[in-house]
């Protein structure tokens, strides 16, 4: 299977690196196109077998999957210049660009399309990646999930849920980082060195996520295990609620739609 990625920026580059590290697509079967020769050189230095070019039209010539990872306002211009073939699969990483718009930009209503919503943890192969499909076969959907499961965790969703789930994942990762930053500040005030506080809090967040993902449990159950009657943890939990912690998270998620 041959994959072309249009765009070698933060997300396009992360996808290229993730694919090359995986087991489904080899580096020699990946082509990356971008106007910046410097970014392309960086990629090829890391993966010498990866193909790079500044010509989008040439890049997609033999591709089975064409992943377009450019800014949303560039999608119309970029897609209008791509001679996509009926057998090719288009994968859009542009936030807010609907399938209807992709059809308009490509003038290809029957083309198999996917909308991809990763987050920045893809660079660490820890992304929560959301995938919606149009005119895709079950085999295509399974392949997409398999590919992006190698870069974290991938889920198929209907397009109607993209806005809400983007708030939980792509925007949500920033809220988790904000918690880490705030907890670090508390640690520093209590006499912990910043770097030490950062590692402690980040590992605690990683551990909390692992408890949920690895055990199919619920946050409430895990909170109960560390909130003994009259203990210090329940006092902190109650302070969070008095300050509107849960409400603030809910409001932030809803504002991000």
65-94 tens-digit pLDDT: 999 999 999 999 999 999 999 999 999 999
**3-class SS at 211?**
helix
Contact 52, 25 (CB under 8 A): no
Contact 106, 3 (CB under 8 A): no
Which homologous superfamily is 165-255 in?
ProC C-terminal domain-like (1.10.3730.10)
Q: Which position has the higher pLDDT, 123 or 57?
A: 57
Tell me whether residue 215 is exposed, middle or buried, using C-beta atoms within 10 angstroms of its C-beta: 0 to 12, 13 to 18, 19 or more. Answer: exposed
Domain 3-157 in this protein, CATH class: alpha beta
The answer to whether the 3-157 and 165-255 domains have the same CATH topology is: no
Mean pLDDT on 150-169: 96
Domain boundaries, given as residue ranges, for the chain: 3-157, 165-255
Element of type H or E holding 95: none
161-183 tens-digit pLDDT: 999 999 999 999 999 999 999 99
- Per-residue burial over 150-189, b = 16 or more CB atoms within 10 Å of its CB, e = otherwise: ebbebeeeeeeebeebbbbbbebbebeeeebeebbeebee
**Is residue 120 over pLDDT 90?**
no
């Amino acid at each position: 299977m041959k994959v072309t990625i249009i765009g070698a920026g933060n997300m396009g580059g992360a996808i290229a690196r993730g694919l090359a590290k995986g087991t489904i697509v080899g580096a020699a079967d990946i082509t990356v196109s971008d106007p910046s020769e410097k970014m392309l050189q960086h990629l090829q230095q890391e993966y010498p077998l990866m193909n790079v070019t500044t010509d989008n039209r040439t890049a997609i010539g033999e591709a089975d999957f064409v992943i377009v990872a450019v800014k949303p306002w560039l999608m119309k211009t970029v897609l209008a210049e791509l001679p996509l073939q009926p057998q090719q699969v288009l994968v859009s990483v542009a936030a807010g660009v609907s399938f209807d718009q992709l059809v308009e930009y490509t003038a290809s209503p029957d083309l198999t399309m996917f909308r991809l919503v990763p987050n920045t943890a893809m660079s660490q192969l820890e992304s929560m990646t959301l995938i919606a499909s149009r005119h895709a076969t079950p085999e295509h959907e399974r392949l997409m999930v398999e590919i992006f499961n190698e870069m974290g965790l991938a889920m198929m969703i209907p397009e109607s849920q993209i806005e809400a789930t983007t708030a939980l994942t792509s925007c949500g990762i920033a809220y988790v980082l904000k918690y880490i930053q705030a907890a670090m500040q508390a640690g520093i005030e209590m006499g912990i060195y910043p770097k030490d506080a950062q590692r402690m809090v980040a590992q605690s967040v990683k551990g909390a996520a692992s408890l949920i993902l690895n055990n199919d449990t619920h946050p409430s159950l895990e909170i109960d295990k560390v909130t003994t009657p009259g203990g210090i943890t329940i006092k902190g939990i109650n302070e969070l609620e008095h300050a509107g912690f849960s409400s603030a998270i809910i409001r932030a998620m809803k504002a991000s739609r």
